């Protein structure tokens, strides 16, 4: 099962990906993690990516596509994969499709975890994290329920930052939804429910 994961920041993509990884042993390939690994290992593409990152520039599409293509030839992707954070634009999606076609490993689905933006704003602005153990809770947690540590709000969870991230997502990534709908690959799931209910729907919709 070859899947691209879509959804706004805070929609719960990571939660659903973790469940799929655990049950079906599909590697969860995050472009951020992949970039950091390639830079750390000093691969030719990693060195190329690092030169852009060090300059504070976006890593160009052809470098990212190269890294993704390289990663998808690893042995652990034989059963399938979950791509998260890539593609981010329709142009990247077209380039990815071309590479996957060459590898004879086309996508089976573009899985969209769909949550209304106002629900996401409420979710993220009420999120709190433990300073000691990293537990993620809500504003209702005065102290960490796991270790008793101090709970705090991350800088990027304030309302202005959250709304800005959602605006960026809408402008750049949301057109992907139309692209994959046009390819008849879009599987849209209502993410504004209990995570277990969402996961049951994910499995049913993907035919797992």
Task: Identify the burial level of 9 via C-beta atoms within 10 angstroms of its C-beta, where 0-12 means exposed, 13-18 middle and 19 or more buried.
Answer: middle
What is the phi/psi pair of residue 75, to 5°?
A: -60, -35
Annotation says 154 is catalytic: yes
Which residue out of 19, 36, 50, 88 is catalytically annotated? 88
**Beta-sheet strand order (sheet of 127-130):** 136-138, 127-130, 151-152
Annotation says 193 is catalytic: no
Which residue out of 48, 71, 127, 128 is catalytically annotated? 127
What is the phi/psi pair of residue 144, to 5°?
A: -65, 125
Which residue out of 13, 48, 71, 123 is catalytically annotated? 13
Annotation says 88 is catalytic: yes
Q: Is the dihedral of CA 180, 167, 14, 66 positive or negative?
A: positive
Annotation says 181 is catalytic: no
* Contact by Cβ (8 Å): 84, 33: no
Kind plus residue range of the DSSP H or E element containing 118: helix 117-125
Annotation says 13 is catalytic: yes
Which residue out of 79, 131, 154, 181 is catalytically annotated? 154
Q: Find the helix packing angle between 61-71 and 90-102, rounded to 10°.
A: 40
Which residue out of 50, 165, 193, 203 is catalytically annotated? 165
Question: Which of the residues are catalytic?
Answer: 13, 88, 127, 154, 165
């Amino acid at each position: 099962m070859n899947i691209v994961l879509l959804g706004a920041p805070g929609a719960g993509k990571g939660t659903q990906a973790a469940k799929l990884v655990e049950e079906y042993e599909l590697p969860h390939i995050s472009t951020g993690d992949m970039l950091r690994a390639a830079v750390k290992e000093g691969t030719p593409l990693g060195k190329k990516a690092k030169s852009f990152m060090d300059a504070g520039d976006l890593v160009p599409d052809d470098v990212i596509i190269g890294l993704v293509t390289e990663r998808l030839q690893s042995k652990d992707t034989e059963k399938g994969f979950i791509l998260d954070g890539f593609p981010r634009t329709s142009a990247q999606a077209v380039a990815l499709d071309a590479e996957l076609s060459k590898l004879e490993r086309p996508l089976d689905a573009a899985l969209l975890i769909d949550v209304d933006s106002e629900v996401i704003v409420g979710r993220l602005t009420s999120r709190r994290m433990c300073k000691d153990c990293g537990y993620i809770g809500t504003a209702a947690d005065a102290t960490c329920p796991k270790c008793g540590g101090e709970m705090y709000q991350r800088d990027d969870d304030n309302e202005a930052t959250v709304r800005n991230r959602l605006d960026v997502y809408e402008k750049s990534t949301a057109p992907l939804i139309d692209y994959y709908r046009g390819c008849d690959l879009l599987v849209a799931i209502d993410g504004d429910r209990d995570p277990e209910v969402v996961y049951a729907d994910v499995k049913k919709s993907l035919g797992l």
